[in-house]
């Protein structure tokens, strides 16, 4: 079981041992989350933006890798040579 100290609908602190007055929550609830009117929990807009930024960084990295491989192919390298260079 997991318990949360919730103030103004914001999870302030998490505890695994029972604490009097704290609310029992699911394992996927963390400090900083917001308790919505329906009783579910969600990340703040700031955390959602950080997650979206990180996902976009990964997409950009994959796109750059594919672009670089294509440029090497355009220069005449074959797949074996490209993999030997960059894996």
pLDDT for 86? 87
| Distance from C-alpha of 17 to C-alpha of 2, rounded to nearest angstrom | 7
Q: Give the residue extent of every domain in the chain.
A: 2-42, 45-86
- Render pLDDT for 58-78 as a digit per residue (tens, 0 to 9): 999 999 999 999 999 999 999
- Render pLDDT for 23-56 as a digit per residue (tens, 0 to 9): 999 999 999 999 999 999 999 999 999 999 999 9
Q: What is the pTM of this model?
A: 0.65
Q: Which two tokens stand for residue 2?
A: 């997991």
DSSP string over 10-66: EEEEEESS--TTPEEE-TT--TT-EE-TTS-EE--HHHHHHHHHHHHHHHHHHHHHH
pLDDT for 87? 75
Determine what percent of the chain falls in helix, strand and coil, rounding each to the nearest 5.
45, 20, 35
């Amino acid at each position: 079981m997991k318990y949360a100290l919730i103030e103004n609908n914001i999870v302030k602190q998490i505890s695994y041992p029972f604490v009097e007055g704290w609310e029992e929550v699911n394992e996927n609830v963390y400090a900083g989350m917001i308790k919505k009117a329906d009783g579910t929990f969600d990340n703040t807009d700031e955390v959602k933006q950080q997650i979206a930024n990180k996902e976009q960084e990964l997409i950009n990295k994959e796109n750059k890798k594919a672009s670089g491989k294509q440029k090497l192919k355009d220069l005449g390298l074959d797949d074996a040579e490209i993999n030997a260079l960059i894996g």
